[in-house]
Amino acid sequence: MRSPRRRVAFVNHLPLGLPRGDRPARNSSLSIWHLEIAKRLAREFDVVVYSPGGGGGGIEAERFGGVDFIAVPTRSDDRLARWLGRVRRLPGLSPSPRRPLFASRIFQRGFARRVADDVRRREGQLVTVANFSQFVGAVKARNPGIRAGLHMHCEWLTQLDPRIVEPRLRDCDLIGGCSRFISGGVARKFPEVADRCFALPNGVDLEAFRPGPEGAEAGRDPQVLFVGRLSPEKGVHDLLSAFPRVAERVPGVRLTLVGGRVPAPFEYVVPLSDDPLVRDLAKYYAGGRDAYEAHLRRSIPATLVDRVEFRDEVPQGELPEMYRASDVFVFPSAWNEPFGMPVAEAMACGVPVVATRGGGIPEFVDHGTSGLLVERANPQALGEAIATLLEDPEKRARLGRAGRERVARELNWDEVADRLGAKLEESLARPPAVSRVPP
């Protein structure tokens, strides 16, 4: 008799829009990760994915790709977070930046409990939470005997106060990271849970993201492309500082910036970091949410304004054509990028990449072989690398081919999902970690 399918769940802290008819999927790395991983794991597991959303008071379920996607309303959580945020800004009540509101047990507590209750109703066996470590305790408190894991797409575990992180990690059966940079940092800082840590890179849809026909770029101006949030940690200001140097050497060159206009929250990035390059990004947050884009637009010389295009975030299905229409893809992160999914997507399309040397990017971009790497916050080196590639078609073609081969070999979603499935099976075969964290 065939054994029953294992029941696993994933918890995403961001709204996850599913593709339906003319409605595209939400274009964020976390949403893409959950969608691509879940539909592949559904071949072997019963899979549920939870995320904030839903317009009414009850949770809403949608079946897609063999997976149950559950939207859990968070209106009351959002109101509480706004109120607490105002209170914590009162004189004398400013908390330590290493203990921010978003890392507390109160943050999205209603969401976590409703998820935990639905997991119990479905008799879930393993839950994996993205980024928010406090959700693990809430799930385990309502589901005795369940296995639980964290999958980190950021450095928070090593940046937050270890006194709140360490007990939560002891509660975890698995602790994954989207790169060795992330998982290795956790293992070094918390050696008592090092044996539970593992690296699992993000993937790419190799059918959608594939090279275009050779010679398609003939007869047009040279094209440089950036895809990602217009947010200080992405280093777009360095790219715009570098662009005049590129334009001096490459006549007619054009730059397209594609991405959402809302920066990452200040408290998610700057106060948590000891990195002086990241701390220096605080200046770009002065003036409110639109200040960074305004700064970027002001920094463009008048003679180059018509060569720089700002594009809103585009659907994931339209990105491959944009990559293929570019000559060089640039990802100038000012922080240590946890992974860099647009870099992998561009490489899959056979486009040569220039990126910064930090975080997880060097784990799949070999300098001089599958792309070019420059130091963070160095516009001069960035401009030199971009111009060098634009002036050398043979080098662009060579790096583009090697990049595609590297991604196809190591970063395809089928391989990534298989590796995660094996980790889940290993965890399910072991006794669960003992819960020590109050819900």
Nearest-angstrom CA–CA distance, 135 and 14: 14
User: What is the structure's pLDDT at 81?
Assistant: 82
Q: Kindly list the distances between the CA atom of residue 304 and the CA atoms of 284, 301, 354, 399, in Å, as whole numbers in the listed order.
A: 22, 5, 21, 28
Please, are residues 347 and 294 in contact by the beta-carbon 8 Å criterion? Answer: no
Task: Spell out the domain ranges in the chain.
Answer: 6-203+413-428, 223-410
Confidence band, pLDDT 50/70/90 cuts, at residue 76: confident
The set of residues, in sequence order, having a beta carbon less than 8 Å from that of 272 and lying 6+ positions away, is 97, 98, 100, 155, 156, 159, 160
Nearest-angstrom CA–CA distance, 246 and 385: 9
pLDDT at 23 over 70: no
Average pLDDT of 109-137? 95
The values of phi and psi at residue 198, to 5°, are -155, 155
- Nearest residue to 395 via CA among 324, 328, 325: 328
Please, are residues 351 and 407 in contact by the beta-carbon 8 Å criterion? Answer: no
Partner residues linked to 309 by β-bridges: 256
**pTM (predicted TM-score):** 0.93
Report the SS3 class of residue 341.
helix
User: What is the structure's pLDDT at 1?
Assistant: 36
Q: Computed from CA positions of residues 122, 123, 125, 128, in that sequence, does the dihedral angle turn out positive or negative?
A: positive
User: What is the structure's pLDDT at 2?
Assistant: 42
Q: Do domains 6-203+413-428 and 223-410 have the same CATH topology?
A: yes
Average pLDDT of 90-115? 85
pLDDT at 256 over 50: yes
Nearest-angstrom CA–CA distance, 327 and 386: 10
Per the model's pLDDT, the better-predicted residue between 232 and 75 turns out to be 232
What b/e string do you get for 386-425 counting C-beta neighbours within 10 Å, with b at 16 or more? bbbbbeeeeebeebbebbbebbeeebbbeebbebbbebbe
What b/e string do you get for 178-204 counting C-beta neighbours within 10 Å, with b at 16 or more? bbbbbbebbbebbeebeebbbbbbbbb
Average pLDDT of 93-112? 87
Interval 133-175: pLDDT, tens: 999 999 999 998 999 999 999 999 999 999 999 999 999 999 9
Interval 176-221: pLDDT, tens: 999 999 999 999 999 999 999 999 999 999 999 999 886 555 568 9
User: What is the structure's pLDDT at 94?
Assistant: 62
- Nearest residue to 304 via CA among 354, 352, 234, 257: 257
What secondary structure, in 3-state letters, does 26-49 show? CCCHHHHHHHHHHHHHCCCEEEEE
Q: What stretch of H or E contains 374?
A: strand 372-374
Superfamily of domain 6-203+413-428: Glycogen Phosphorylase B; (3.40.50.2000)
CATH fold group of domain 223-410: Rossmann fold (3.40.50)
Please, are residues 355 and 338 in contact by the beta-carbon 8 Å criterion? Answer: no
Q: Residue 334 has what DSSP assignment?
A: S
User: What is the structure's pLDDT at 61?
Assistant: 87
1: tokens are 């008799």
